């Protein structure tokens, strides 16, 4: 038996919202008995895409994060449901039974990912089913995965070493959106935004961009180096939160500069002007 899951590679996601639209197309106005009632035309986002802006002018980055149900192995939504209204199928997909869940509003607030929505008209909780009705009909992947133009959504059997999803998992580059919830999520991510430290180096005497200058970042036992590019820019990406870093900038014939950066937020150190001397 397969154990279905998904890896979402944010380095490939361009925020086109096709996944969101595919989900709406599949479920709005369509009922799949035993799997899901109709998704209302507004107010529900079974595949929600959030935009995360990082940094501040002039160094701003935008990341898109698609968020479906994580189909957790340790799912609190299953634990709070009465009458087995939420259950995990043998293939790992977590389903809310559209009939048994009637009136069970407590299921909505049980999910820390906030991916369960309340249908006021039907009096039921609803969420992503990984298109279980299609998979049972022979489909190889959910609609959102099928319509993603960049290959950012990779669906498959996590226990099959030949599946692309299992290979990505085995690469060790995936992580849960919120590992602190500890729910054994079967939807994981590559490229989740972390913190960055960046800056621009200028030769003061020439008033021009300093290309090829060595910049060293050190803190919490780690050390990284980078070279400034043609525009004098440098950047350290993927840094952990809340670390006090020292940033050293050294160019032959110029005084070394040392700055501080704390990754409570993304840091742009601005223009660092190098002065002649030792």
| Residues within the interface to ligand SF4 (CB under 6 A) | 13-19, 49, 64, 66, 69-72, 75-77, 94, 111, 113, 115-116, 127, 148, 150, 152-153, 183
In the complex with ligand SF4, which residue's Cβ is closer, 14 or 83?
14
Decide if 211 contacts 230 (C-beta within 8 A).
yes
In the complex with ligand SF4, which residue's Cβ is closer, 144 or 272?
144
Q: Which pair of structure tokens corresponds to residue 203?
A: 């030769």
- DSSP three-state, residue 25: helix
In the complex with ligand SF4, which residue's Cβ is closer, 19 or 131?
19
Decide if 188 contacts 215 (C-beta within 8 A).
no
CA distance linking residue 248 with residue 213, whole number of Å? 10
Least separation in angstroms between CB 246 and ligand SF4: 37
In the complex with ligand SF4, which residue's Cβ is closer, 126 or 263?
126
Which residues lie closer than 8 Å to 179 by C-beta, 6 or more apart?
A: none
Strand partners, 36: 32
Least separation in angstroms between CB 83 and ligand SF4: 16
* Beta strand residue intervals within 14-106, DSSP E: 48-56, 59-67, 86-88, 94-96
In the complex with ligand SF4, which residue's Cβ is closer, 116 or 165?
116
Least separation in angstroms between CB 65 and ligand SF4: 9
Decide if 75 contacts 94 (C-beta within 8 A).
yes
Least separation in angstroms between CB 54 and ligand SF4: 17
R_g of the chain, CA atoms, integer Å: 24
Least separation in angstroms between CB 111 and ligand SF4: 3
Least separation in angstroms between CB 66 and ligand SF4: 4
In the complex with ligand SF4, which residue's Cβ is closer, 60 or 182?
182
- DSSP three-state, residue 78: helix
């Amino acid at each position: 038996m397969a154990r279905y899951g998904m890896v979402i590679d944010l380095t490939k996601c361009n925020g086109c919202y096709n996944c969101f639209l595919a989900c709406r197309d599949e479920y709005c106005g369509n009922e799949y008995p035993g799997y899901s009632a109709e998704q209302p035309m507004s107010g529900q986002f079974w595949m929600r895409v959030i935009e995360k802006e990082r940094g501040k002018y002039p160094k701003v980055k935008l990341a898109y994060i698609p968020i479906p149900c994580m189909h957790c192995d340790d799912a609190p939504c299953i634990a709070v449901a009465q009458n087995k209204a939420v259950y995990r199928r043998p293939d790992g997909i977590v389903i809310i039974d559209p009939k048994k869940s009637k009136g069970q509003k407590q299921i909505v607030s049980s999910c820390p990912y906030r991916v369960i929505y309340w249908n006021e008209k039907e009096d039921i909780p609803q969420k992503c089913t990984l298109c279980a009705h299609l998979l049972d009909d022979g489909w190889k992947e959910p609609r959102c995965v099928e319509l993603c133009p960049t290959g950012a959504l990779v669906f498959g059997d996590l226990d099959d070493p030949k599946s692309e999803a299992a290979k990505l998992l085995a690469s060790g580059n995936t992580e849960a959106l919120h590992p602190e919830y500890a729910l054994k999520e079967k939807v994981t991510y590559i490229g989740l935004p972390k913190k960055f430290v960046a800056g621009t180096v200028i030769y003061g005497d020439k008033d021009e961009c300093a290309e090829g200058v060595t910049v060293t970042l050190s803190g919490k036992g780690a050390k990284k180096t980078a070279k400034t590019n043609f525009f004098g820019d440098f950047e350290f990406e993927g840094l952990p939160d809340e670390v006090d870093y020292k940033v050293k900038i050294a160019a032959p014939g110029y005084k070394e500069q040392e700055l501080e950066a704390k990754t409570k937020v993304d840091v742009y150190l601005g223009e660092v002007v190098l002065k002649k001397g030792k």
